[in-house]
Structure 1
Amino acid sequence: MVAPKTEGTAAPSPTRPARTNWGVGLLLFAAGVAAALQIGKAVAGLPSIRADLGLSLVAGGWVLAAVNVAGGLSGLLLGALVDRFGHRRSMLAGLVLTAASSALGAAAQDGTLLLLTRFGEGLGFVLTVLAVPPLLVRVTARADHGVMFGVWSSFMPTGSALGVLAAPVLLAHGGWRALWLAGAVLTAAVALAVAGAGRTLRPPGDRARLRPSPAMRAVLTAPGPLLVAGAFAAYALQYLAVIGFLPTLLTTEYAVPAATAALLTAAATIANAPGNLLGGWLRGRGAPRSVLICAGSALMGLSAVGIFADGSPLGLRYACCLLLSFAGGVIPATLLGAMPALAPSPQAQSATVGLGMQGSTLGQVAGPPLVAAVATATGGWGATPAVLGLAALIAFALGLALHRFEDKATP
């Protein structure tokens, strides 16, 4: 057993409270869940969208990936702007933009408008998730850092699973458009709740400062954030490629009913959350970040073989999906917890998180279209393990490289 770390008895810093405000922390978690729901709804609604709008498999892959384009292209820049504009303001702006884009997307009559609104949802998603980590630091005592960020890192599987679980009822009664409208309503409600916690989240003297941030250059020249971004990209490529096409795989390869496929996908998605919590707990017990990243990457790569190998029975494929999601869950928990500590300065926290999320979103943008293109070119899923295995190997190597930053990345 790894011995727990001791945090000492030093007085809290100006940005660290003596006691954790769990109520506000969970409200911030809800903001991330609402943003991540936009990814899960597309996973569940993809077969219905393709049938309604006549989209190809590759175009369907872009419906999954378009929500990540904004973060993939400009995560670092957006992170720097979030630092300058204010974390609370940016989070609220992101939630409002996400809700509005989802509502507009429900009216799409072709793939072009749908993809544009997915880009808007993605921009809102990025603004939200870049702003939350510094706010969590503001309401979390140092001793609870690992647990809080373990909980926070599960926002993605929790939100995605919520979208998938809600899909069967909404798809049956209003089609994919009802799913989009429900996502808009929920996100707007969370935005109103977060706005009510304004005094708690607003630091003294908080004002928007719309000047170019010098933090961008510092972040881009710091090796720690670059390694985190690369590892996040490799992880995210594998995760969304598997979870994104799981309903399609189940319905086309095994004739699983759509409602059952949605439930199985939700279970595979939510399996990531216990992995997130495990990663946060192990970090709190002193487990090295490099070990967690390398172990998770190795298990993800091995699982991909069982998922996509030709002739794999349904039971084996699904068990490997669960393993990939659970084992991979320790990786984002580890990386998200390291980002604020690896920032070159306290004023560059969101820029550092932005670079990490840019890596994550680049992986999510690349994963579904790449896997779809390989499957289309080869006439099946058989070559997919090679693609995902390479990504797992990259994440493993970057995890090893992060070992030299272990002391600095300890909160």
Structure 2
Amino acid sequence: MRAPVFGQALRTFTRGGPLVLALTFATYSSIHVTVVALLPTFYVETELLGLARIAPMTAFVAAVNVAGNILGGIAVHRGIARWKLVIATFVLIGLSALLVYDERLIFEVRLVAAVFLSFIAGIIPACLFATVAVVAPTAALVGATTGLMMQGSQLGQLVGPVAMAKVVTWTGTWNTAPITLITAAVAGSLLMLVVRRIERRRISD
């Protein structure tokens, strides 16, 4: 029984579609988890706020991502192209990231930008999960493809916060924090174009 399972896992990993989809999910998770995880530190250092005030704000920023998931599902259900949704979302993420960490702006504006970033980012998982069945090597490997995509999520959660912390520490300012988020957004957009090409090829076959 082990051989077939190993063979299925190997086939899923070595086929382009599932791997690219997993890397795309990694860029999303690196953005969302980084913003939420480091937001308390950012506010403590720049606003001198206590954790009692920061905790509910951060929880709300994290929670609105669920609403974005629902919005993404509705958009996909209505027939809006998934690749367009994902790329448009990455663009909005990049723009809002510039506002979140701009220390020249008042706190309220930056907080609203963080809420918007988390909310709009939620569209991406809905689109990627809807793409799994299309890029999976076979119908029997949809589960394996989903599993690989979730491993991509874990990769992003590991790399994202570390990368931002390194950049902020090296430059000595939070104004440079968007560099990592925008880099991930650009990478995610390019990867989604590859996913689209794979998807079109699968459909034409």
Q: Normalized against structure 2, the TM-score is what?
A: 0.90
Cα distance in 2 for partners of 1:257, 1:303 equals 24
Alignment of 1:266-305 (within 5 A): 266-305=59-98
Cα distance in 1 for partners of 2:108, 2:25 equals 29
Alignment of 1:398-409 (within 5 A): 398-404=191-197, 405=199
Cα distance in 1 for partners of 2:131, 2:24 equals 12
Say if 2:178 is the partner of 1:389.
no
Stretches of structure 1 lacking an aligned partner (at least 5 in a row): 1-208
Q: Is the 8 A contact 1:299 1:323 kept in 2?
A: no
| Structure 1 partner of 2:153 | 360
| Structure 1 partner of 2:118 | 325
Report which of the two has the higher share of helix.
2
Single out whichever of 359-368 and 218-227 deviates more from structure 2.
Answer: 218-227
| Structure 1 partner of 2:30 | 237
Letter in 1 for 2:107: L
Percent identical pairs in the alignment equals 34
Say if 2:113 is the partner of 1:338.
no
* RMSD across aligned positions (CA): 1.9
Letter in 2 for 1:309: D
Of the two structures, which has the highest relative contact order with CA contacts closer than 8 Å and spacing of 6 or more? 2
- Structure 1 stretches of 4+ with a deviation exceeding 6 A read none
Q: Is the 8 A contact 2:34 2:161 kept in 1?
A: yes
Cα distance in 1 for partners of 2:153, 2:118 equals 16
How many Å apart are 1:221 and its aligned residue? 3.3
| Structure 2 partner of 1:308 | 101
SS of equivalent to 2:6: coil
| Structure 2 partner of 1:258 | 51
How many Å apart are 1:349 and its aligned residue? 2.3
Higher Rg: 1
How many Å apart are 1:389 and its aligned residue? 0.8
Q: Is the 8 A contact 2:160 2:180 kept in 1?
A: no
Cα distance in 1 for partners of 2:109, 2:192 equals 28
Q: Normalized against structure 1, the TM-score is what?
A: 0.46
Q: Is the 8 A contact 1:289 1:406 kept in 2?
A: no
How many Å apart are 1:402 and its aligned residue? 2.4
Stretches of structure 2 lacking an aligned partner (at least 5 in a row): none
Alignment of 1:30-109 (within 5 A): none
